[in-house]
Amino acid sequence: MKKSVLFFSILISALVLSGCTTQIRHDEVLTSPTKLERGQKIYVAVANDGSYGSNVFAGSGMRISHTLAACLRPGASDIKLAPANEPIDKVLESAKNYGARYAVIPTITNWEQRAAAWSGRPTRAAMIIVVHDIAANKQILSNQIDVKGRSVTFVSQSVDELAQKAIVKYCDNAF
C-alpha cells in the first residue's frame, strides 16, 4: 500500500513539474552556410497581428517587429522598421530603397493568450522569421519559433512576454 502511494505521489509530482516550465523551440527551415553579416543595414517588416480563432490581438504584429528590431540593432549598422504591415514585394522594394542588405520578415502563425492559472491550458505563440538577402535577391534564412507557456501555474503568462523571450533567443544566434 505504501509503495503504491509513494509511486502515485512521485508520478503526480513529475506531471505537475513538467507543466511548470516554459518551452521554446527554434527550427531552422532554410539556412545558408553563414549567419547575418554584422555591420549591415537591416529593414524589419511589420507582422500581421496575431489571432486565435476570431480573436485578433491588435498591435501584436507591431510589438513583435519592434522587439525584433531592438534585438537585431546591436549587430547592425542601422535598422529601419517598416511604418506598417506591407505585402512582401513592397517590403523588398522598401528595403532596397533604404539600402538595406537584409529584409527581416516576421509572420505570426499562432497567438493564444490563455488563463493557465485557472484553466490549465498554456499560452502559446508561433512565428516564422524569414531573412531575405537584398543584394543576392534570395531568401537565406527561415526559422519557425514555437513557444508554449506553463500549464500548471498560479499566474498566467503573457503571450507577448513569451514571444519576446523567443525573439531575444533567436537574435542571440542571428549574427
Question: Residue 52 belongs to what domain range?
Answer: 22-172
Residue 30 in domain: yes
Q: Is residue 110 part of a domain?
A: yes
Domain total in the chain: 1
Average predicted confidence (pLDDT) for the chain: 82
Residue 107 has pLDDT above 90, yes or no: yes
Q: 94 to each of 18, 49, 76, 77, 131, how far by Cα in Å?
A: 45, 20, 17, 17, 14
In this predicted model, what pLDDT tens digit does every residue of 118-167 receive, in sequence order? 556 777 889 999 999 999 999 999 999 998 876 655 555 778 888 999 99
Q: What is the pTM of this model?
A: 0.78
Mean pLDDT throughout 52-75?
93
Q: Could you tell me the CATH number of the domain that includes residue 98?
A: 3.40.50.10610
144: left (phi over 0), alpha (psi -120 to 50) or beta: beta
- Residue 97: pLDDT above 90? yes
The C-alpha cell at 33 is: 552556410
43: pLDDT strictly greater than 90: yes
E strands, the chain, are 23-30, 40-44, 51-52, 55-56, 76-81, 102-112, 124-133, 138-148
